[in-house]
A and B are shown apart, each in its own frame.
Chain A
Amino acid sequence: MALDNNPALDTHEFRLVGTRPNRPDGIDKVTGRARYGADISAPGMLTGMVLRSRHAHARIKSIDISAAEAIPGVHAVITRKDFTHVPEDGDIADILDNCMAGEKALYDGHAVAAVAASSSATAQEALKAIIVDYEVLPNVTDVDTAIREGAPILHAGRSDGTVPEGASRNIMSRVEFGHGDVEAGLAKADRVVERSFKTEATHQGYIEPHACLAQMGQDGQADLWCCTQGHYMVRNTCAALLGMDQGQLRVTASEIGGGFGGKTTVFLEPLALVLSRKSSRPVKMVMSRAEVLRATGPTASSSMDVRIGMTKDGRITGAHAELRYQGGAYPGSPVQLGAMAGFAPYDLENVKTVGWDIVTNRPKQAAYRAPGAPMAAFGVESVIDELARGFGLDPIEVRLKNAAREGTRSSYGPTYPAIGLEATLQAAKDHPHWSAPLGKNQGRGVACGFWFNFGGDTCVSLNITPDGTATVTEGNPDIGGSRAAMSMMAAEELGIPYEKVRTVITDTGSLGQNEVTDGSRVTFAVGLATIKAARAAKKEMCKRVAKIWGIDEDAVEWREGAVHPAGPNAGLHPPMTLAEIAAVASNTGGPIAGHHEVTAEGAGVSFATHMVDSEVDADTGAVKIVRYTVFQDAGKAVHPDYVEGQLQGGAVQGIGWALNEEYIYGEDGILQNPGFLDYRVPVASDLPMIDTVILEIPNPGHPYGVRGVGETSIVPPLAAVANSVSAAANVRLTDIPMSPPKVLAKIRETV
């Protein structure tokens, strides 16, 4: 039968994969029927709300909830004291402390109490009646200030063994990657450029605020509905926080209104569960936009020193980077990933990156699309650009000369299999954008980017219905069209029309463990499991038909949606289609299904090259993006529309990060711009069309060659935009966001 042999990847002809059918959830989403986190209610439900600290750093001396509890219509008031279970795991303990402050409020917006009441007006009244006695402490929100002598210390004694003796106690850990002898390499260079860079924190900016509805009984059984990138993660985390059995908590994921990594942890969910337990009523909680910005996870801000040496013909001889990332009030900034990713596009003999994880009085960072990589790429790609321009070399040629390829030992350790970086650079060089004339005050920049991609725990069940259609049951919230991709891959395998497969995202009670929708993993890992589940179903159908025909299982084969007699039996029986096999399943052994459970490996690393033209207004410092092209390797684009969408969306988030988005804190440590008016994400009138070129260098780790595409597209834009602005303004921009005042100051500095 040879069902498990992968077809030759680069020559395989697909019937459906690579086409652009309408997504199965499209009608629900254009008619308003799709139900997101805040779109559900339960009989008798209460409204839950959170009291948040207005101090960036304060010891909580006492909390008096008695007046709040006495208000008619208030059914529960909770503080940290209501979390009676003490988690042993350090990461879980930090999540608990982030969800509900213990001894100290560590940032503006940190939750200190929560209420459940019969209406939102009553809940608001109750919040005002809670009396918190704070001892206000000095705060620090800047990454460089946090590690200076005399800076306020957030936690004593939490630095791990990697931090040198005598270093700031706000440093949680140190990491190092690389190989060769950097100093010897730099000595061989014709020129060495060293620059320092800073990037501000940005928020994922999903349009849907966090929301959930919890119901927990005194028997310990609980149900939770929420918008999340991973309901299995929500289940496991909440169970650990509350000391529950995971099996007693069933979590259902709503439709999700964007996440970009920001919905890969919990904020409201454990509070809603405890409020529900205490009030014996269902409790619904929905964040305001200000709460989302103040108290969920933005990404890290960074400060970096990058030093690269190059020969005059463009060969990098040595490269060094020192990265300092603050990830908010708890350990765990993505500096390690940044340190691994910064130099990953290049084949370097001598390279070293050191990363420092630093805490400040800001909200605990959460993952944001290729967490940690865009900042590091900004520093590295800016210096490469400066060296190339300084020597009068073509920046694409310089990158091609140093590009990592199959067999290259990466800067973070592993040796690469087949990868697509050179293909993206070559496509960029050959693209009409590269040779198009530039207008007045315009500049063109390019940059490369890398992301690891991920696989992880995945379960899929595929059921053949009696009428010969199929349902795919999977456990990963569909954040950008993945149900379409799963249905396409299942239909491709089964030889039935796309419309005959329905993909359903099920609750935590219906499948085994599934990793979060993150790491660009879903089309890769869930797709792989879907294909394998379909192959298991096909194997079962072959068995059934062999039984009907009274011949050996090995004497039949699956071809074009039907079982055919094979070998010496060829032509002896008319083929049986999937529908015919399904119709008689009750007589041949019962319902037919396939399933696959796997810890998916072989996700296949991803590379992109971005090209951007920007125009700088020399009088105001304002930057306008006038043309943008993304070149990225997708392995195999299952549904090209949604691959393009990922490339475009990532590029535009990167443009926002590069030009206008930033967390602005005052001296008091209070966030000054917690709303979409002042935290300005790109709007339609800021942008041109975002052109995309999809390269397909098959990933050997996936049956169809798929590799994840979701995250890489945000890695190059910071640097690509900075390189274009630097070219247009004839100054080197090293501080992100490149907001008009900063650009103008740079221009005036050099005049």
Chain B
Amino acid sequence: MSNIHVTTSVNGDPVEFLCGSQDTLLDVLRDRLGMTGTKEGCGTGDCGACSVTVNGRLICSCLMLGAEAEGSEIGTIEGMADGDALHPLQRKFIEHAALQCGICTPGILVASKSLLESNPEPTEEETRYWLAGNLCRCTGYDKIIRAVMDAAHEMREAS
């Protein structure tokens, strides 16, 4: 079976890759491009650890084929900080101790950033429902919700 050539961009960088017809976008990111910040927790779209954005839309990268990424703009956790400057969400997750083991953290950060782009002032309930597709087994979500709400507050103050 021959590979498929795909031209795309990842975090603003032009990227070309070859992938098999059955490779998911997650497989491509992790195994072909070496971008292991995006995690695989289930491979069936149930845990959200593999959350990325494609053309600005939040998706589970385990549910999209790599071949489908032709011409699209992909955003991953590796592109969230601006050089040394952490995104406010990243900073607030550290300050609020909103991670324990950290395996769900990249996906939750990508999903939270997507939330705040569409809703800069989410209520606690809106935040909880938006993140209901991202499993965290360590924290009980309390500090995660607080960190997202605090980051939203800070970003509103700054804008």
Contacts and interface: CB of A to CB of B under 8 A. Distances in A.
Do the two chains belong together in a single complex? yes
B33 interface: no
Interface size class of B (residues with CB under 8 A): 35 or more
A121 B23 CA distance: 10
Interface in A670-693: 675-677, 681-687, 689-690
A20 interface: yes
A681 B37 CA distance: 23
Nearest to A691: B142
A30 interface: yes
Interface in A610-668: 639, 641-642, 644-645, 648-649, 651-653
Nearest to A260: B137
B95 interface: yes
A259 B77 CA distance: 23
Contacts of B132: 683-686
B100 A121 contact: no
Interface string A121-135: 100000000000000
Interface in A24-66: 25-27, 29-36, 38-39
B97 A641 contact: yes
Contact of B136 (A35, A207, A256): A207
A255 B138 CA distance: 14
B36 A38 contact: yes
Contacts of A257: 39, 41, 101-104
A289 B22 contact: no
Contact of A289 (B42, B95, B96): B42
B134 interface: yes
Given A649-B138, A684-B128, A208 B90 contact: no
A685 B128 contact: yes
Contacts of A205: 135, 137
B140 A675 contact: no
Contact of A26 (B40, B46, B94): B94
Given A26-B94, A34-B102, A36-B103, A684 B141 contact: yes
Contacts of B140: 645, 648-649, 651-653, 682, 687, 690
A495 interface: no
A682 B103 CA distance: 17
Interface in A2-42: 20, 22-23, 25-27, 29-36, 38-39
B35 to A, nearest CB: 8
B36 A32 contact: yes
A485 to B, nearest CB: 12
A207 B49 contact: yes
A480 B37 CA distance: 19
A481 interface: yes
Contacts of A39: 30, 36
A434 interface: no
A207 B104 contact: yes
A595 B99 CA distance: 30
B89 to A, nearest CB: 8
Contacts of A649: 100, 137-140
A479 interface: yes
A599 interface: no
B78 interface: yes
Q: Binding site of A, secondary structure by majority: helix, strand, loop or mixed?
A: loop
Best-buried of B20, B76, B105, B134 by chain A (most CB within 10 Å): B105
A30 B86 contact: yes
Interface in A213-260: 255-260
A685 B41 CA distance: 20
Interface residues of A, number: 57
Interface string B125-159: 10111011111111111111110000000000000
B66 interface: no
A59 B104 CA distance: 40
B44 interface: yes
A291 to B, nearest CB: 11
Contacts of B95: 22
A83 interface: no
Nearest to A683: B132
B120 interface: no
Best-buried of B38, B39, B140 by chain A (most CB within 10 Å): B140
B20 to A, nearest CB: 7
A683 B103 contact: no
Contact of B109 (A25, A30, A676, A683): A30
Q: Binding site of B, secondary structure by majority: helix, strand, loop or mixed?
A: loop
B139 A648 contact: yes
B97 A645 contact: yes
B145 A676 contact: no
Contact of B22 (A121, A208, A288, A690): A121
A206 B137 contact: yes
B43 A31 contact: no
Best-buried of B36, B44, B142 by chain A (most CB within 10 Å): B142
A32 B79 CA distance: 9
Contacts of A642: 97, 100
Nearest to B34: A41
B113 to A, nearest CB: 11
A683 B140 CA distance: 8
Interface in A459-502: 479-481
Contacts of A479: 100-101
Interface in B40-88: 40-44, 46-47, 49, 76-78, 80-81, 86
A255 B40 contact: no
B8 to A, nearest CB: 18
Given A481-B97, A676-B47, A689 B37 contact: no
Nearest to B77: A32
Contacts of B138: 258, 480, 645, 649
A681 B136 CA distance: 9
A209 interface: yes
Given A33-B37, A207-B135, A684-B132, A289 B103 contact: no
Nearest to B144: A684
A208 B107 CA distance: 13
A744 to B, nearest CB: 24
Contacts of A34: 102
Contact of B39 (A208, A639, A644, A686): A208
B100 A689 contact: no
A683 B133 CA distance: 7
B63 to A, nearest CB: 12
Interface string A74-96: 00000000000000000000000
Contacts of B78: 31-32
Contacts of B76: 32
Interface in A264-279: none
Contact of A207 (B35, B39, B128): B39
Given A23-B94, A33-B37, A685-B128, A258 B103 contact: yes
Contact of A675 (B44, B96, B142): B44
Given A207-B41, A684-B134, A645 B100 contact: yes
14 contacts: A27-B94, A29-B105, A31-B81, A32-B36, A36-B103, A204-B137, A208-B101, A255-B103, A260-B137, A649-B100, A675-B44, A683-B133, A685-B125, A687-B128
Given A38-B40, A121-B20, 19 more contacts: A23-B97, A26-B93, A36-B36, A204-B137, A207-B41, A208-B41, A257-B103, A289-B47, A641-B96, A642-B97, A645-B139, A645-B140, A652-B139, A652-B140, A675-B42, A676-B42, A684-B131, A684-B141, A684-B145
Interface of B: 20, 22, 30, 35-44, 46-47, 49, 76-78, 80-81, 86, 90, 93-97, 99-106, 109, 125, 127-129, 131-146
Closest 6 CB pairs of A and B: A32-B37, A257-B103, A652-B140, A29-B102, A641-B97, A676-B46
